[in-house]
Amino acid sequence: MVKANGNYLKLPGSYLFSTIGKKVREYSAANPEAKIIRLGIGDVTQPIAPAIIEAMHKAVDEMGNAETFKGYAPDLGYEFLRNTIAENDYKARGCNIEADEIFVSDGAKCDCSNIQEIFSLDNKIAVCDPVYPVYVDSNVMAGRAGDYNAKTETWSDVIYMPCTADNGFAPQIPDKTPDLIYLCFPNNPTGATITKAQLQEWVDYANKVGAVILYDAAYEAYISEENVPHSIYECEGARTCAIEFRSFSKNAGFTGVRLGFTVIPKELKAGDVALHGLWARRHGTKYNGAPYIIQRAGEAVYSAAGKEQLKAQVAYYMNNAKYIYEGLKGAGFTVSGGVNAPYIWLKTPNNMTSWEFFDYLLEKVQVVGTPGAGFGPSGEGYFRLTAFGTYENTVAAVDRIKNAGL
Amino acid sequence: MVKANGNYLKLPGSYLFSTIGKKVREYSAANPEAKIIRLGIGDVTQPIAPAIIEAMHKAVDEMGNAETFKGYAPDLGYEFLRNTIAENDYKARGCNIEADEIFVSDGAKCDCSNIQEIFSLDNKIAVCDPVYPVYVDSNVMAGRAGDYNAKTETWSDVIYMPCTADNGFAPQIPDKTPDLIYLCFPNNPTGATITKAQLQEWVDYANKVGAVILYDAAYEAYISEENVPHSIYECEGARTCAIEFRSFSKNAGFTGVRLGFTVIPKELKAGDVALHGLWARRHGTKYNGAPYIIQRAGEAVYSAAGKEQLKAQVAYYMNNAKYIYEGLKGAGFTVSGGVNAPYIWLKTPNNMTSWEFFDYLLEKVQVVGTPGAGFGPSGEGYFRLTAFGTYENTVAAVDRIKNAGL
């Protein structure tokens, strides 16, 4: 008699952004005339840059021609892309990462959620709180999170590292020793970063206790301050304790194009098992590579024209971030983030819960954000706004929130 | 202290097609002048059809324009594609499948290997022997296969259903009762099919014992005979016991474009848990959708021009299949398949093992095929040749094999 995976049934409610989507669809259906501004899910609004469009047209034509047609891609991704990534994202920053340590994929979300699969089920995970829900949810589905406590909204086998105003939204080394440490900087949702010296402490700690850091650097392109590391491999010793995830979704607007990559250094081991080999085995057996056309799009991200055009795109979004930050701060809200990240982290006014604030903004002024509680217990009382809207919508949304009677 | 997933370490050797790739690369390196003909991995050689190329160019332009730019895709895939699939692949065949029971993905390999995740780890799987290695390997990685017996090359917790010349390469209902039954027709690697009446027996059996059939119909487009079902939903009662996987790789040459889908009827349950909801949760949490450009390519597969062009492409490959089948049969080889599938299943001559025959063909005549043993113990003594080469290479390969001195 077939049985379902009981771990899936432990998950309370649906995936955060699916829930938000549902609430917004229901509100629109009930209020068809309402002009909703979405600063909730971190989706981009600027079109794909011309240099990338050109590269995709060229690749599409190659696929239509017998001489240049491409079938199955190499397991780890095309060399032209892996070489470009190694050069630009790593060697150019003095990080010693080789092309054959890079695994091209269809996005960081898939990699972040699948990576736990190559580790033992009895490994303990530690996560920042609040944080991108995929880290915990994927471990719940695998059976690594223990049981859910509806009262505290925490999982019995997960080590939470609170990131609150008190510690400047930077996690502290936990009391219990984890085996897998999820770090995400610039952080989603708080927009906070840590310095290279602070990250070095994590690398030293992981090497000391034999833990692996799963480092999500999806928002690296938004770093504007000196002394904030773009890659964990800028730290001494990271090659023996860290896996890094990168995405093209936010630096190049690929949320609908789908491309990302994962870096696993050859020296990185669990006991005497090289993790590079395990991830390669997963790629070979359970994945078939990102489309050739999309891998060519990724290559164009690093072309001279592509870099120029994307610099402008990032600047456009960061100008939105500045507008939200200053506008709401000026209106008396408590805000953080927005300097090295496209996210503004807002304290909910009048002691509203974050879902109460979500409903209030949706119903009163038709602005959609993301409730902090959706990112973990320490997110309660906070709210995330993204800078990925158009400038016009961003300005309108800030004005609406100012006039929401809060 | 971090630990690796011990189940991964149980896997003997690397993924079949990675091993073949490595052997071929090594031979080429040692014999740079050798003109190797690859009829091994089931990769296609014909370029993407013009109607699909046109659709991709259009979609690329949409992505470059602010008014038509697309970000994150809907969790289950775009409605324009899911509606077209429901119409053409199901309703047109009298199968009652709705668009919201279709989950668009980046390929059947990912879906076939990930689907086991929504089931309990103590569920027993049954597989045809020989069969596409991904079914067993993905269950080994999850810890559902038990232990490997190197002597018999079988897993202790897997129920094998031999498909040999004695039973016309059609599986029999197993003695032990499985919870999950993997069926693939037209079959990879044997190219065999079963009739609608035979498939109905499996559906009735699954409903009787409460098992779920995981039906891989990736090669459906190659069916030429009447009375061979294109979808399991042509059978009475399949909606309560079957999940179907489809691919665009073989009917439209998308091996490097990447698109597929999975069908989960709303009534399908494990106990009282609807599997549709579990797979939707997996999609929402661990996947971010196929690229918009690629989903538009998939839509074009069903356009009038697309259908016309792909009919010709399938005919081209099936003409190769006929040439291999008749050529080798005429030369005294024992062959099957090739009528409803792009695969020819060849008995190795002179009692060679399938890997011995692989090495012999590679070294003597530089033709690459796939050793039957790579698909399971009952594949030993057999060899798979694909019809996906060019006509010229196919003719040359058959001539070379004829003259290989066997």
Render pLDDT for A74-90 as a digit per residue (tens, 0 to 9).
989 999 999 999 999 99
CA-to-CA distance for B99 and B264, rounded, in angstroms?
10
Residues of A in contact with B209 (CB under 8 A): 1
Taking only the tens place, the pLDDT of each residue in A357-387 is 999 999 999 999 999 999 999 999 999 999 9
Residues of A in contact with B1 (CB under 8 A): 179, 209-211, 271
Residue B260: its H or E element: strand B260-263
Please report, in angstroms and rounded to a whole number, the separation of the first and last CA atoms in chain A: 56
Q: CB distance A69–B50 less than 8 Å? A: no
Least CB–CB distance from A291: residue in B117, B256, B284: B256
Q: Provide, rounded to the nearest whole percent, the portion of chain B with pLDDT above 90.
A: 96
Q: CB distance A119–B8 less than 8 Å? A: no
Q: Which of B311, B5, B278, B3 is nearest to B118 (CA)?
A: B278
- Cα–chain center distance at A83: 23
Domain count within chain A:
2
Chain B nearest-CA residue for A120 = B5
If pLDDT is split at 50, 70 and 90, which confidence band does B15 have?
confident
- Cα–chain center distance at A92: 23
Residue A8 lies in a domain: no
- Mean pLDDT, chain A, rounded, equals 96
Chain B nearest-CA residue for A49 = B64
Least CB–CB distance from A65: residue in B47, B275, B286: B47
Chain A nearest-CA residue for B212 = A2
Q: Is the pLDDT of residue B44 over 80?
A: yes
Q: Which of A14, A43, A187 is nearest to B284 (CA)?
A: A14
pLDDT (0 to 100) of residue A13: 76
Chain B nearest C-alpha distance from A269 (Å): 8
pLDDT (0 to 100) of residue B405: 85
Taking only the tens place, the pLDDT of each residue in B56-100 is 999 999 999 999 999 999 989 999 999 999 999 999 999 999 999
pLDDT (0 to 100) of residue A188: 96
pLDDT (0 to 100) of residue B19: 85
pLDDT (0 to 100) of residue A52: 98
Q: Is the pLDDT of residue B312 over 80?
A: yes
CA-to-CA distance for A322 and A318, rounded, in angstroms?
6
Chain A nearest-CA residue for B10 = A278
Residue B2 lies in a domain: no
Domain that holds residue A79: 53-302
Residues of B in contact with A71 (CB under 8 A): 43-45, 253, 255-256
Q: CB distance B256–A292 less than 8 Å? A: yes
pLDDT (0 to 100) of residue A406: 83
Q: CB distance B117–A141 less than 8 Å? A: yes
Reading the block at residue A331, the tokens are 């209106």
Question: What residue type is A321 in one-letter code?
Answer: A
- Full 3-state SS string of A28-97: HHHCCCCCCEECCCCCCCCCCCHHHHHHHHHHHHHHCCCCCCCCCCCCCCCHHHHHHHHHHHHHHHCCCC
Residues of B in contact with A48 (CB under 8 A): 63-64, 69
Q: CB distance A8–B179 less than 8 Å? A: no
Q: Which residues pair with A260 in a beta bridge?
A: A105, A247
Chain B nearest-CA residue for A19 = B284
Judge whether A154 and A377 are in contact, CB under 8 Å. yes
Query: For an interface test with B, which of A22, A288, A386 has the most B Cβ atoms less than 10 Å from its Cβ?
Result: A288
pLDDT (0 to 100) of residue B267: 97
B349: helix, strand or coil: helix
Residues of A in contact with B159 (CB under 8 A): none
Residues of B in contact with A46 (CB under 8 A): 66, 69
Asked if residue B64 and residue B128 are part of one domain, the reply reads yes
Instruction: Say if residue B237 is exposed, middle or buried (CB neighbours under 10 Å; 0-12, 13-18, 19+).
Output: middle
Q: Is the pLDDT of residue B13 over 80?
A: no
Q: CB distance A256–B69 less than 8 Å? A: yes
- Starting from the edge strand earliest in sequence, which strands make up the sheet with B158-162, in order? B102-105, B260-263, B242-247, B212-216, B180-184, B125-129, B158-162
Asked if residue B340 and residue B276 are part of one domain, the reply reads no
Residues of B in contact with A73 (CB under 8 A): 256
Residues of A in contact with B310 (CB under 8 A): none
Q: CB distance A46–B69 less than 8 Å? A: yes
Reading the block at residue B12, the tokens are 């003997």
pLDDT (0 to 100) of residue B113: 98
Asked if residue B394 and residue B278 are part of one domain, the reply reads no
A99: helix, strand or coil: helix
Q: Which of B399, B365, B371, B367 is nearest to B383 (CA)?
A: B371
Residues of A in contact with B291 (CB under 8 A): 106, 256-258, 291, 294
Residue B111: its H or E element: helix B108-114
Name the residue with tokens 């002024």.
A365
CA-to-CA distance for B31 and B368, rounded, in angstroms?
14
Q: CB distance A120–B5 less than 8 Å? A: yes
pTM of structure: 0.97
Reading the block at residue B125, the tokens are 């799987």
Question: What residue type is B258 in one-letter code?
Answer: R
Residue B162: its H or E element: strand B158-162
Asked if residue A288 and residue A144 are part of one domain, the reply reads yes
Chain B nearest C-alpha distance from A104 (Å): 14
Q: Is the pLDDT of residue A203 over 80?
A: yes
CA angle B77, B185, B87 (to 5 degrees): 40
Residue A48 lies in a domain: no
Chain A nearest C-alpha distance from B242 (Å): 12
CA-to-CA distance for B278 and A34, rounded, in angstroms?
33
Q: Which of B230, B261, B275, B245 is nearest to B94 (CA)?
A: B230
HSE of A67 in the Cβ direction (CA atoms, 13 Å)? Answer: 0
Least CB–CB distance from B2: residue in A63, A141, A179: A179
Residues of A in contact with B293 (CB under 8 A): 56, 257, 293-294
Chain A to chain B, count of Cβ pairs less than 8 Å apart?
A: 257
| DSSP single-letter state for residue B11 | S
Last residue of a domain, one of A302, A320, A343: A302
Residue B67 contacts by C-beta under 8 Å, 6 or more apart in sequence?
A: none
Residues of B in contact with A109 (CB under 8 A): 286-288
Judge whether A351 and A175 are in contact, CB under 8 Å. no
Asked if residue B392 and residue B327 are part of one domain, the reply reads yes
Chain A nearest-CA residue for B57 = A57
Least CB–CB distance from B114: residue in A64, A123, A286: A286
Asked if residue B270 and residue B382 are part of one domain, the reply reads no
Q: Is the pLDDT of residue A252 over 90?
A: yes
Chain A nearest C-alpha distance from B50 (Å): 7
B31: helix, strand or coil: coil
pLDDT (0 to 100) of residue B189: 97
Asked if residue B311 and residue B294 are part of one domain, the reply reads no
For residues A151-164, average pLDDT: 96
Least confidently predicted of A61-70, A301-310, B41-50, B299-308 = B41-50
Return the CATH number at A209: 3.40.640.10
CA-to-CA distance for B112 and B347, rounded, in angstroms?
28
Residue A270: its H or E element: strand A269-270
If pLDDT is split at 50, 70 and 90, which confidence band does B42 have?
confident
Residue A151 contacts by C-beta under 8 Å, 6 or more apart in sequence?
A: none
Residue A266 lies in a domain: yes
Chain B nearest C-alpha distance from A86 (Å): 23
Q: CB distance A66–B47 less than 8 Å? A: yes
pLDDT (0 to 100) of residue A17: 83
Q: CB distance A4–B293 less than 8 Å? A: no
Chain A nearest C-alpha distance from B137 (Å): 7
Residue B202 lies in a domain: yes
Asked if residue A82 and residue A190 are part of one domain, the reply reads yes
Chain B nearest C-alpha distance from A27 (Å): 18
Q: Phi and psi dihedrals of B391, rounded to 5?
A: -60, -45
| DSSP single-letter state for residue A299 | H
ipTM score of complex: 0.96
CA-to-CA distance for A120 and A116, rounded, in angstroms?
8
The torsion defined by the Cα of B399, B400, B403 and B406, in degrees rounded to 10, comes to: -120
Return the CATH number at A356: 3.90.1150.10
If pLDDT is split at 50, 70 and 90, which confidence band does A27 have?
very high
If pLDDT is split at 50, 70 and 90, which confidence band does A41 have?
confident
| DSSP single-letter state for residue A379 | G
pLDDT (0 to 100) of residue A221: 98
CA angle B17, B22, B24 (to 5 degrees): 95
For residues A131-158, average pLDDT: 96
For residues A215-221, average pLDDT: 98
Least CB–CB distance from B292: residue in A64, A180, A256: A256
Residue A4 lies in a domain: no
Q: Is the dihedral of CA A125, A129, A133, A137 positive or negative?
A: positive
CA-to-CA distance for A383 and B16, rounded, in angstroms?
49
Q: Which residues pair with B242 in a beta bridge?
A: B213
Name the residue with tokens 């010349």.
B165
Asked if residue B284 and residue B320 are part of one domain, the reply reads no
Judge whether B107 and A288 are in contact, CB under 8 Å. yes
Asked if residue A249 and residue A147 are part of one domain, the reply reads yes
Asked if residue B309 and residue B294 are part of one domain, the reply reads no
Judge whether A265 and A276 are in contact, CB under 8 Å. yes
Asked if residue A247 and residue A192 are part of one domain, the reply reads yes
HSE of A399 in the Cβ direction (CA atoms, 13 Å)? Answer: 6
Q: Provide, rounded to the nearest whole percent, the portion of chain A with pLDDT above 70.
A: 100
Reading the block at residue A63, the tokens are 């696929």
Last residue of a domain, one of A277, A302, A327: A302
Reading the block at residue A261, the tokens are 């990559």
Residue A153 lies in a domain: yes
Q: CB distance A47–B66 less than 8 Å? A: yes
For residues A22-43, average pLDDT: 92
pLDDT (0 to 100) of residue B40: 85
For residues A244-265, average pLDDT: 98
Q: Which of B64, B138, B75 is nearest to B285 (CA)?
A: B75
Residue A2 lies in a domain: no
For residues B213-233, average pLDDT: 97
Chain A nearest-CA residue for B271 = A3
Q: CB distance A256–B290 less than 8 Å? A: no
Query: For an interface test with A, which of B110, B285, B310 has the most A Cβ atoms less than 10 Å from its Cβ?
Result: B285
pLDDT (0 to 100) of residue B14: 73
Q: Is the pLDDT of residue A14 over 80?
A: no
Last residue of a domain, one of B261, B282, B302: B302
Instruction: Say if residue B307 is exposed, middle or buried (CB neighbours under 10 Å; 0-12, 13-18, 19+).
Output: middle
Least CB–CB distance from B212: residue in A2, A141, A258: A2
Q: Which of B162, B335, B106, B262 is nearest to A283 (CA)?
A: B106
